[in-house]
A and B are shown apart, each in its own frame.
Chain A
Amino acid sequence: MTLNKQIELSVLHNLAAAETAPEERWADIRKESRSALSQTAFPHRKIEEWRFTDLRPITRTEFVPLENAGAFPVSGAETYFIPESEGSRLVFVNGRYQEELSSTGPLGKGVIFGNLAEYEDNPVVQEYLNKLLNYEEDVFSLYNGALLNDGAFIHLEKNAKAEAPIQVLHLYTDSAKPFVATPRLLVVAEEESDLTIVEDHVGLGNNVYMTLPVSEVKVKEGAHIHHVRLQRDSEEAVHVSRPIAYVEKNSEYHAYTITLGARLSRNEPRVVQEDEEVDFTLDGLVLIDGNQIADTHSVMDHRFAHGQSHQLHKVVVNGNAHSIFNGKIFVRKDAQKIDSFQENRNLLLSYEGLVNTKPQLEIFADDVLCSHGATIGQLDPEEVFYLQSRGMTEEKAKEVLTYAFALETIENVKIESVHKLLIEEVNRYTRANSIQKETV
C-alpha cells in the first residue's frame, strides 16, 4: 500500500477526522485505525465485492457525530429483555453502555462479562482486542476501531459454563440528525467452555442511523459457542457488521443470523478454522420487503483437515427488496476430509423483488465433500393448490408456505423466548404480506 495516496473522502473519513477529543482508552488502536482509515477508500460498485450493493443510503446521508445528533432518550427498553438473560444482560443505547439497564449477576464459575471499557487492563483484552479483525481494505471496521470506546466483553475461563444465555442488546433511538454507532463485542472462550450469546439490534423508532458492529470471537480447544444474531434495526437504518470467529481443535461455533430490519444491511460473517476436528455453522434467515437491501458476504475458511461446516442461507424477498448473497468457501491445500454444506434458497414473492446469489467454492484439497447450491423460486403453485383444495384461502396457503420456508432456519435457535419471538416475527412478516396483497 502506498502511503498518502489520494483517496476520495467519504462521510466516514470526514466523521473520523471531525472526532475532536480522542479518548484515553486504547489510544493505539484508535490511532492505528484512524491512520489506516485515512488510506482506505470507501467502496463503490466497480469493486467486485460491492457490485450489486447500492450504497446510496450511506453516501447520500449527512451523518453527524453521536454527540451532535440530538438523540432522544430511550424508553421501553424492557420490552426487549429476554427472561432467560435476567442477570446476564448487557445493554447499549446507540452504541454506549447502559449500566442501569444492564443486569450482570454471577453466571457461573469462571464466566466474566461486562462493559469492555472496564476491562481495559485485562490481559485477555490486551491480547485479543482488535487483533482478531481481518477484513481487507475495510473502512467500516476501521471506523469502528478509530472510535473504539466501550463494548461488550465476555471471557470464559477454562471449563467455565455460562448458566444462562448472555443477551447483548443494542437499542437505537430516534434523533434530530442521523448518527453512527460503533458497537464492539469481544468473546474469548477458553478450553472446554460453553456459552450462548444473543446479540440483538433493535431500532426503537424509524429514523435514519448507521450502526457498524464489529465482533471478535475466539473459540478455543473443545469450547462451544451458540451465537444468535438478530437484526431488527429501523426501516431507514444502515447496518454493516463484521463478525469474525476463530475455531480451534474440537471446538464448535454455531451462528444464526436473522435479518429483518434496516434499509441497507451488509453482513460479513467469517469463520476461520485454526485446527482439526471443528464443527461450525453460519446459517441465515433474511425477510425483506419494501425498498430494503440485505447483503450477506460470508467466508468459511477451512485451513485444517477434518472440519465440518454448515451454511443454510434462506431469503424471502417481497416488494422492491433486493437480496445479495456471496458465500465463499475456502478449503486450503492440506485441509483434507472437510465436509462442507452450503445452500442459499431464495423465495421471491413479488415481480419487482431482486435476488443476486453467488456461492463461491475455492478448493485446493482433493479429499473433501463440499455440496453447494442456490435456488431462486416462487411459491410452488401445486403446493398452493393442494392447501387450497383442503379449504385454505389462497392468502392463507401462501402465508403458511412462506412461514414453512422460513421456519427451517430458526428451528436451531434453542433459547425458548428467542425462538418464540422469531416465530412471531416470521408470522408478522408473512401476514403483512398477505394484507398487502389483498389491498392491491
Chain B
Amino acid sequence: MLELKDVYAEVEGEGIEILKGVSLTINKGEIHAIMGPNGSGKSTLAKVVSGHPEYEVTQGDILFNGESILELDPDERAHAGIFLAFQYPVEVPGVTNTTLLRESYNTIAASRGREELDPLEFDDYIREKLDLVEMNPDFLERSVNTGFSGGEKKRNEIFQMAVLQPSLALLDETDSGLDIDALRVVSEGINKLHTSEDAVILITHYQRLLNYIVPDFVHVMRDGRIVKTGGKELALELEEKGYDWLDSQTTVNGEVK
C-alpha cells in the first residue's frame, strides 16, 4: 500500500536535511508503530507522506498503491485515502467542525467513488462516528480545535478519521494528551475502524498505547533513519532499556550492518 524508497527530505529552501534515507513498506491490513527519540524525524516523515509543502523530497520515492505520490498536492493525497492525525492539531477559528467535515467528506467521497450524503444522511452518519469516539455533539458546532483542550484535540482528530475513512492513517502521537479513559476509548475506536483493507501507522513514545492497539511491526527512528525494526516485543525492550542500547548495534533501515 505504502512504500518509501530511500527517502531523503529537507526543509524547503533551507537545505536542512531531516530524513536521511528512509525505506519502509506497509501492506494492507497492517499496523506499524514508529518510535524514536525527540527530534528524530517521526513527524516529518508523517508530514512528508501527507504532502506538507514545508518539506521537499530530494531523493527517493514514495509510492501509494504502486504509484508515486510525490507530485500530488495534500488534498489529492487525502482523496487517494491518506489521513494524518496531527501531533499538534491546528486551530482553525471560524470554521466549524461540521463545515470542515461536510466539505471534506463529500470531496473525498466523490473522488473515491463513494456516495455523497445529503445533509440529513450526513447528520446521522456523523452522530454514529461521534458515538464511536464518545465525543460530545457540542463539538460539532465549535470552530475546529479552537480552544479545545489537548486531549479534546486528539480525540477530534480520530473523530475526523472515523468520518473520512482513510485507507492509510498516520497517527502522530495521538496518545499523548489523552487521559487514561480517553486513551482506552480512542484506541478501541481505532481498532473498530481498522479492517484488512486499510493500514495504520502509529507514532508514539509509549508502549502503553501498543497494549491497546497491537502493532505488527515496530520501527525505531533515529536521526532521520529507521535504525531497527522488530515485532511488538521491541517496544517493551525499548521501554525497559531506552534508546541508547541501540548504539551498540548499528542497523541501517532495519538491516544489521
Contact = CB atoms under 8 A, between A and B. Distances in A.
Contact of B53 (A381, A383, A404): A381
B90 interface: yes
A387 B92 contact: yes
A393 B77 CA distance: 11
Interface in A367-423: 380-383, 385-394, 396-397, 400-401, 403-405, 407-408
Interface stretch (B95-103, B205-213, B215-223, B249-257): B95-103
Contacts of B100: 387, 390
A164 B52 CA distance: 51
A153 B189 CA distance: 63
Max chain B CB contacts within 10 Å: which of A390, A392, A403, A408? A390
A397 B73 CA distance: 13
A406 to B, nearest CB: 8
B9 to A, nearest CB: 15
Interface stretch (B17-25, B30-38, B78-86): B78-86
B94 A391 contact: no
Contacts of B111: 391
Given A387-B100, A390-B100, A404 B95 contact: yes
B53 A392 contact: no
B46 to A, nearest CB: 10
B73 A388 contact: yes
Nearest to B100: A390
A390 B78 contact: yes
Nearest to B101: A390
Max chain A CB contacts within 10 Å: which of B77, B89, B100? B100
A396 B101 CA distance: 13
B160 interface: yes
B176 interface: no
Interface in B44-60: 50-54
B40 interface: no
B104 A391 contact: yes
B92 A385 contact: no
Interface in B193-237: none
A405 B94 CA distance: 7
B7 interface: no
B62 interface: no
Contacts of A386: 86, 89-90, 92, 144
A403 B78 CA distance: 23
Given A387-B92, A401-B92, A407-B94, A393 B99 contact: no
B105 to A, nearest CB: 8
Interface residues of A, number: 23
B107 A383 contact: no
A388 B103 CA distance: 11
A400 B104 contact: no
Contacts, number: 74
Contacts of B51: 388-389
B164 A404 contact: no
Contacts of B54: 381
Contacts of A387: 92, 95, 100
A380 B95 CA distance: 14
Nearest to A403: B94
A283 to B, nearest CB: 15
A263 to B, nearest CB: 29
Max chain B CB contacts within 10 Å: which of A385, A389, A391, A407? A391
Contacts of A394: 73, 75
A400 B90 contact: no
Contacts of A396: 103
B75 A400 contact: no
Contacts of B77: 389
A405 B160 CA distance: 23
B147 interface: no
A391 B52 contact: no
B107 A391 contact: yes
B221 to A, nearest CB: 21
A405 to B, nearest CB: 6
B93 interface: yes
Contact of B84 (A389, A397, A407): A389
Contacts of A401: 92, 94-95
Max chain A CB contacts within 10 Å: which of B93, B99, B160? B93
A391 B93 contact: no
B104 A408 contact: no
B41 interface: no
A392 B108 CA distance: 9
A392 B50 CA distance: 13
Contact of A383 (B79, B90, B108, B164): B90
Contacts of B78: 388-391
Nearest to B109: A391
A404 B92 contact: yes
Interface in B106-124: 107-108, 111
Nearest to B107: A391
A400 B95 contact: yes
A6 to B, nearest CB: 54
A382 B160 contact: no
A391 B108 contact: yes
Contact of B107 (A380, A392, A404, A405): A392
A37 B72 CA distance: 64
Contact of A408 (B83, B92, B94): B94
The 10 A-B residue pairs with the shortest CB-CB distance, nearest first, are A404-B94, A388-B74, A386-B90, A391-B78, A390-B104, A391-B104, A391-B108, A388-B75, A391-B107, A404-B95
Interface of B: 50-54, 73-75, 77-79, 83-84, 86, 89-90, 92-95, 99-101, 103-104, 107-108, 111, 143-144, 160, 164
Given A383-B92, A391-B107, 4 more contacts: A388-B73, A390-B104, A391-B104, A408-B93
